Structure 1
Amino acid sequence: MKTTLRTLAILTMGMLPALAMASHWSYEGEGSPEHWAEVSPENQTCKVGMNQSPIDIKNTLKAHINPLKSSYVDSPINIINNGHTIQAGFAASVKDVVTIDGVPFQLQQLHFHAPSENTLNGKHFAMEMHLVHKNAEGEIAVVAVMFETGTANSELAKLWQTMPAKADEKAELKQKIDVNKLLPEDLSHYRFSGSLTTPPCSEGVRWLVMKHPVTLSVQQLKQFTTAMHHGNNRPTQPLHGREIVE
């Protein structure tokens, strides 16, 4: 019996690296975006989905969509380098909300991609921030803000001051930040239906991409890209007949 258990333990230990490898995804090498559906059965939507994000924004439809109403009052409580992005998390009791077509969506977390994931007429921006929200029914809405290099961003500096430089490290924020100051003054935006831009690439996500960018300094961009060690943007995906409205 002891021999059998010992043999089973050895076999199980030998399988662990393979299992870990099977579920790993990345932005380069064998786990890069074109292979996401191969690294885990849960990621099939990344390959077969018809409403995938990000996209190239062009040929928009004028629809006079309702303005975005934001009410951001609380600060994130922690920041983590998860190896894929820098992400700031919010408490479950957070009061940060956006109202989309009369429906309130509560802010869950925000994170960054460089270069941008969504493009405008084929153009990448230096960086893109995703504010991920969820409503009472569990539906997801992502507000995306583009960054271009220029004047240093004071609110971003507060996040970057605490940014863990290594993967799988987290830290408590040292200063409160005002999420409103990470948004452009003009909240006009493009809207389309899409997906998460990371595995499992779940669809049914409402996307609101701000038309006007904000700025960050070259040094702030470099600090982020150094922490990531590589670009962390998924390539743009086919529209498959979807309409982009503004």
Structure 2
Amino acid sequence: MKKSLIPIALACASISLLPSFSSAEDTLHWSYAGHEGPEYWGSLSPEFQTCKTGKNQSPIDIESAIESALPELTFLYTKAATEALNNGHTVQVNFPAGNTLVIEELTYELKQFHFHTPSENKLEGQSFPLEAHFVHADAEGNLAVVAQFFHEGDANVALTDLLKNVPDETNPTITISHALEAKTLLNTDNGYYRFSGSLTTPPCTEGVQWLVMKEPMTASAEQISQLGEAMHQPNSRPTQPLNDRVVLK
């Protein structure tokens, strides 16, 4: 896959879930329910108009993916996270510099990962109880998001320390007792799906490269419930029309 095949043009100021960047989210309130919920995002502010008018929006229902010789994803994660926060929309784990994703000659740095319950993306109509989004940015601010599904099953060891003291509105920023390595929450054994999409939160900026792992991981019912309670609500945007996009696998 050559660089020209990755249509990403996202300015750093538009990255809504990275706390080190400014965005319209800082001053404009939105939610996952009621009159500030997803169906109204595009009307809440001119800055959010793409949520309503965009043609390459995320999440999607991954159906009829086309077989393709996708390049290998090289995860060079060497720095563990020690900080987690609850930003009112999700539980988010921030990472220091030094963790990179390489796709052929393109290098993206891991900034953070966060959770959605239930999953935002679907697979052939199937929803999962939990999904994690690993947000990467290159030097120009272009984004690549790696998505990992979780189904209910055995407890996830990597989540155990995070959930011992999960951040909430009374303690929004915590120090993780044992440093968390991002690679322990990714299953890269069976390939991935790729498509062009958007941020799944306002301002819904397009031009984000999505890489969805095919193989789910497990988390216990208790772990999924604990994350859901910390976020106080389902925090998933409904799936969006695929339009003319192609999903590769």
Q: Is the 8 A contact 1:83 1:167 kept in 2?
A: no
Tell me what 2:162 maps to: 159
Give SS of 1:155's match.
helix
Give aligned-pair identity as a percent.
Answer: 46
Give SS of 2:177's match.
coil
Q: Deviations over 1:195-238 (max 9, x none)?
A: 00000000000000000000000000110111122100000000
Q: Deviations over 1:130-177 (max 9, x none)?
A: 000001121000000000010100111122223113277111222111
In structure 2, the CA distance between the partners of 1:125 and 1:96, relative to structure 1 (3 Å rule), is same
Aligned mates of 1:83, 1:194 — CA distance in 2: 24
C-alpha displacement of 1:187: 5.1
Tell me what 2:185 maps to: 182
* Number of positions where the alignment pairs a residue of Structure 1 with one of Structure 2: 224
Q: Is the 8 A contact 2:82 2:177 kept in 1?
A: no
Q: Is the 8 A contact 2:149 2:217 kept in 1?
A: yes
Q: Is the 8 A contact 1:110 1:131 kept in 2?
A: yes
Tell me what 1:208 maps to: 211
Tell me what 2:47 maps to: 42
Aligned mates of 1:236, 1:101 — CA distance in 2: 29
Tell me what 1:245 maps to: 248
Aligned mates of 2:139, 2:28 — CA distance in 1: 30
C-alpha displacement of 1:95: 1.1
Q: Kindly provide the amino acid, as one letter, of the partner of residue 146 in structure 2.
A: V
- TM-score under structure 2 length normalisation: 0.87
Q: Is the 8 A contact 2:121 2:239 kept in 1?
A: yes
Q: Kindly provide the amino acid, as one letter, of the partner of residue 203 in structure 1.
A: E
Aligned mates of 1:140, 1:96 — CA distance in 2: 14
Q: Give the greater-gyration-radius structure (CA).
A: 1
Aligned mates of 1:71, 1:230 — CA distance in 2: 33
Q: Is the 8 A contact 1:81 1:167 kept in 2?
A: no
Tell me what 2:99 maps to: 96
Aligned mates of 2:99, 2:152 — CA distance in 1: 27
Tell me what 2:76 maps to: 71
Q: CA RMSD in A?
A: 1.5
Tell me what 1:113 maps to: 116
Aligned mates of 1:162, 1:64 — CA distance in 2: 42
Match of 1:60 among 29, 48, 65: 65
Match of 2:37 among 32, 38, 56: 32
Q: Is the 8 A contact 1:98 1:106 kept in 2?
A: yes
In structure 2, the CA distance between the partners of 1:109 and 1:187, relative to structure 1 (3 Å rule), is farther
Give SS of 1:232's match.
coil
Q: Kindly provide the amino acid, as one letter, of the partner of residue 224 in structure 2.
A: L
Give the alignment of 1:119-198 within 5 angstroms.
119-166=122-169, 169-186=172-189, 188-198=191-201
Give SS of 1:141's match.
strand
Give SS of 2:81's match.
coil
Give SS of 1:111's match.
strand
- TM-score under structure 1 length normalisation: 0.88
Aligned mates of 1:157, 1:40 — CA distance in 2: 39
C-alpha displacement of 1:185: 4.4
Q: Structure 2: state its 5+ residue gaps.
A: 1-24
